[in-house]
Amino acid sequence: MINVTKTFLPPQEAYQAILKQAWDTGWLTNRGVLVQELETKLKGYLGVDNLIAMTNGTLPLQIAIKALQLQGDIITTPFSYVATTSSIVWEGCMPVFVDIHPDYLTIDESKIEAAITPKTTAILATHVFGNPCHVEAIQAIADTYNLKVIYDAAHGFGVRYKGQSVFNYGDVSTCSFHATKLFHTGEGGALFCKSELRDAMYYHHNFGHDGPDVFRSLGINAKMSELQAAMGLAVLPYVDTIVKERQEAVQYYQALVDALPLKTMQLREDTVWNYSYYPVIFENETQLMQVKRALEQKDIYPRRYFYPSLNQLPYVKGGNCPISETVASRIMCLPLWAGITKSNIKTICNIIKTSM
């Protein structure tokens, strides 16, 4: 079976050697030495100042909305994983969808201003597939209208834009360390923010505790465990290799896909990408379904990332986003992981070619 992704597993002995520290201390929770070590190493690796490890990549979005005290309308992208929209709704705010750019697949910054009303408090956009949003234009709009900016950077691990981590843009950024993501801790995630926001985010992720008996603010439990951190510490030494192997796979895909009538995502200029996904866009949904079925018959399982367009979720008043809707109906991510073979890729592209 060939799946859309395959979780990178570090050598089991390496994981166990790290876990031994937890056994030695008897400490599995509440920001022990492993979580702190992972945070320190990630800050160094990524080049970020403020990073809080969390138990998944969704709670940091909700905590960002809560801690920034956002209310009313939040402008967001319809082309992302459902967590981007559900976090807004879960926190009692209203998602206002602005359509995406047809080539970059990120929110179309030129359409944001028209969607701003007196009720707008923030912009929450996704660096989808690790492709950065037009962060300068978005920041300029946010400054003009006094809005907060949150980036769902779930796919952004290791991505650099204009010479620095993509996590450094916006008031807050979040990442997912889910097992399907490029760097993972099984389940896990992180929040990145400006220094002046760090305390608010920190207290919100740990029940508001400021010492055992003092509560500084409302909070929830989003703490990463020592077991998760141990996986992260075991995976981190391999991240550069993971990215390099994915790069080789993407380049091989690209060479074969170039000969097919498929569209691919345009990477934003000045981006050092992480090769986290390989999405291809078909001419129409019928063609996509035809190819998907042909692949599935050969035990190959691509994924419709991201479908449906989030403005069509049953619990939002989404309006129309024609570009996102058409892209969502025609896009599919091809299998990609560190170590996928050229022969796998050749087989996949041949099936696509013959079933289109």
Q: Which residues bind ligand PLP (CB under 6 A)?
A: 56-58, 80-81, 83-84, 126, 152, 154-155, 176, 178, 189
* Residues 6+ positions from 118 with CB-CB distance below 8 Å: none
Residue 49: is it exposed, middle or buried by C-beta count within 10 angstroms (0-12/13-18/19+)? Answer: middle
Q: Rounded to whole angstroms, how far apart are CA atoms 71 and 217?
A: 18
Looking at beta carbons only, is 98 or 154 nearer to ligand PLP? Answer: 154
Tell me the closest approach of the beta carbon of residue 80 to ligand PLP, in angstroms: 5
Provide the pairing of β-strand 73-76 with 120-126. Answer: parallel
Q: How far, CA to CA in Å, does 197 sit from each of 63, 106, 114, 239, 263?
A: 12, 26, 29, 29, 40
Catalytic residue among 66, 181, 223, 292: 181
Tell me the closest approach of the beta carbon of residue 218 to ligand PLP, in angstroms: 21
For 170, the token pair is: 């916006």
Determine whether 181 is an active site residue.
yes
Tell me the closest approach of the beta carbon of residue 99 to ligand PLP, in angstroms: 17
For 165, the token pair is: 């981590």
Tell me the closest approach of the beta carbon of residue 343 to ligand PLP, in angstroms: 28
Cβ-proximal residue to ligand PLP, closest one = 57
Looking at beta carbons only, is 203 or 305 nearer to ligand PLP? Answer: 305
Looking at beta carbons only, is 120 or 173 nearer to ligand PLP? Answer: 173
For 269, the token pair is: 């200029």
Tell me the closest approach of the beta carbon of residue 71 to ligand PLP, in angstroms: 22
Looking at beta carbons only, is 154 or 257 nearer to ligand PLP? Answer: 154
Taking phi first (over 0 means left), then psi (-120 to 50 degrees means alpha), and beta for anything else, what does residue 208 get?
left
Q: Cis omega (within 30 of 0) on the bond before 97?
A: no
For 188, the token pair is: 């896990």
Q: Could you tell me the sign of the dihedral formed by the alpha carbons of 231, 131, 125, 85, in that order?
A: negative
Tell me the closest approach of the beta carbon of residue 94 to ligand PLP, in angstroms: 19
Main-chain dihedrals φ then ψ at residue 58, nearest 5 degrees: -95, -45
Q: Rounded to whole angstroms, how far apart are CA atoms 43 and 258?
A: 37
Tell me the closest approach of the beta carbon of residue 154 to ligand PLP, in angstroms: 3
Residue 169: what residue type? Y
Task: Indicate the Cα dihedral angle 237, 44, 337, 341, nearest 10°.
Answer: -60
Looking at beta carbons only, is 202 or 306 nearer to ligand PLP? Answer: 306
SS3 68: coil
Partners of 3 in the β-ladder? 301
Q: Rounded to whole angstroms, how far apart are CA atoms 280 and 262?
A: 6
Instruction: State the catalytic residues.
Output: 181
